[in-house]
Amino acid sequence: MPYLFVTRGVLDALSDSRVVSDTLDLTEVRLGEDVFTPLTPATFSLTLSNTGAGIVASGTACATFRTRCVRCLCEYDTDVDAEVDGFYVEVGDDVDLPEEQEREFITDERIDLEPAVVQSLVLSLPFAPLHSPDCAGICPSCGVDRNEVACACAPDAGGSPFAALKDLFGVEEDV
Can you give the binding site for Zn ion, defined by CB under 5 A?
69, 71-72, 131, 135, 139, 141-142, 151, 153
Q: Write the single-letter amino acid at 171.
A: V
Q: What's the CA gap between 129 and 113, in Å, rounded?
A: 27
Which DSSP category does 157 fall into?
A: G
Residue 173 CB, shortest distance to Zn ion, in Å, is 17
If the CB atoms of residues 86 and 146 are measured against Zn ion, the closer one turns out to be 146
Residue 153 CB, shortest distance to Zn ion, in Å, is 3
The H-or-E segment that residue 100 falls in is none
If the CB atoms of residues 61 and 135 are measured against Zn ion, the closer one turns out to be 135
| Beta strands in 51-175, from DSSP E residues, in sequence order | 55-68, 75-90, 104-106, 110-112
R_g of the chain, CA atoms, integer Å: 24
If the CB atoms of residues 26 and 71 are measured against Zn ion, the closer one turns out to be 71
Residue 159 CB, shortest distance to Zn ion, in Å, is 13
Residue 40 CB, shortest distance to Zn ion, in Å, is 22
If the CB atoms of residues 35 and 142 are measured against Zn ion, the closer one turns out to be 142
Q: What's the CA gap between 102 and 158, in Å, rounded?
A: 43
